[in-house]
Structure 1
């Protein structure tokens, strides 16, 4: 069976390198390469890929979780493999929650792991390249792994990063301000931050913000 693959990354070299690796495998067919999210979303319904190799910085204004949300909505049956230079285990956990099936750390030799990753997710199993897997296991053993970010927490985190105060966020969301404060407190615990400013910095560093 031929596996139809779409590659989307904002780096030319990454696109060409992955195409070169995949062309050596007879069961894989690259049906599209894209450097812009909008271009890819416009054709996903037509090309119907089995696997999407998705660079986490494809859309500068979106964090990788929001990026996966949009791609999955356009191609709900595709297996999504994230490609990233970040290896933080917490973001891997959240990506699995929103529907990604794999995570390839770009500093791991993709020429060795790319084919294995595609074969694994096509069998319906999640895949992590070695560095991502090590970071994920460490994160799951920490006391920060208990609470997963829901849609409300992700949106409040984005609004904090935009410079809004909890009172302003509560007004925009039409919720009690104590609810926003409660979410902020859980977010600070999750990221090991003492202040909202530190929370934003850590969340951006770990890939939760664009």
Structure 2
């Protein structure tokens, strides 16, 4: 039975590119273009692999971190899905997404040949030992700080290089404490400080203090600017 491949992107050209890349692989069935704002309904009672395009163009805006986190959270709650992201993110963002979202198992950088990389990525995360290099899997898990070796991962060559550069520089970065990370994740979802305080069961003043400290640490003027700088730094 063919594996269902769901395409999540605003741009129909991306969908056509996926069809071309998989034209010689009958084991994969593309299930049509799915708009990000209809993803939960479209994927209910289904399973398979989800491809999310992240390219920026006039008619296909790059999703904000909050938008992308929301999409990934919805997919993760549905279960039975694995995600491959495709775009031009930097190494920090690639590292963050794979580290914090278990449903994400691959990243293809647009500097690489999609027709060559996509079939390999699909077969790798499905567990095809004929194409999945064991040494490469160990390398990916180590570089991306993913302890679960049963979770198959694939990075295209450029994505792999960017992730490795991120790993080599990471030891010089300032790690955040548990409270900082909790607050940052809520801010990423667009939750304001008052609502964060209620959700975490602490005072508003405590949340205001943490958010102000984080903005000072990252030299950010707003919470939106803070999230951009945190993503670039890859410190959580």
Structure 1 residues 32 and 40, CA gap change in structure 2 (3 angstroms): farther
Counterpart CA distance in 2 for 1:200 and 1:134 is 24
Which residue of structure 1 lines up, in the alignment, with residue 80 of structure 2?
77
What secondary structure sits across from 1:194 in the alignment? Answer: coil
Taking the aligned partners of 1:51 and 1:73, their CA distance within structure 2 comes to 14
3-state SS, counterpart of residue 79 of structure 1: strand
**1:139 maps to what in 2?**
166
Question: 2:39 and 2:109 mapped to 1: Cα distance?
Answer: 22
The whole-number CA distance in structure 2 between the counterparts of 1:31 and 1:195 is 41
Taking the aligned partners of 2:73 and 2:106, their CA distance within structure 1 comes to 15
Shift of 1:50: 1.7
Alpha-carbon distance in 1 for matches of 2:125, 2:216: 33
The answer as to 2:236 corresponding to 1:202 is no
Task: Specify which of 83, 90, 93 is matched with residue 91 of structure 1.
Answer: 93
- The two structures, once aligned, show a CA RMSD in angstroms of 3.3
Structure 1: segments with no counterpart, 5+ residues: none
Question: Using the alignment, how far apart are the partners of 1:40 and 1:156 within structure 2?
Answer: 22
Corresponding residue for residue 41 of structure 2: 42
For the structure 1 residues 63 and 54, does the alpha-carbon distance in structure 2 shift closer, same or farther, using more than 3 Å as the test? Answer: same
Map 1:171-182 to 2 at 5 A.
175-176=202-203, 177-182=205-210
The equivalent of 1:20 in structure 2 is 20
Q: What is the rounded CA distance, in whole Å, between the counterparts of 1:56 and 1:184 in structure 2?
A: 31
State the 1:63 CA deviation: 3.0
Q: How many residues align?
A: 195
1:125 equivalent in structure 2: 152
Q: Could you tell me whether the CA contact under 8 Å between 1:55 and 1:84 is conserved in 2?
A: yes
Match in the other structure for 1:155: 186
Give TM-score, length-normalised by structure 1. Answer: 0.74
Residue equivalent to 2:148: none
SS in structure 2 of the partner of residue 23 of structure 1: coil
Distance 1:128 1:157, change over 3 A: same
Report the Cα distance in structure 2 between the residues aligned to 1:23 and 1:187, rounded to whole angstroms: 48
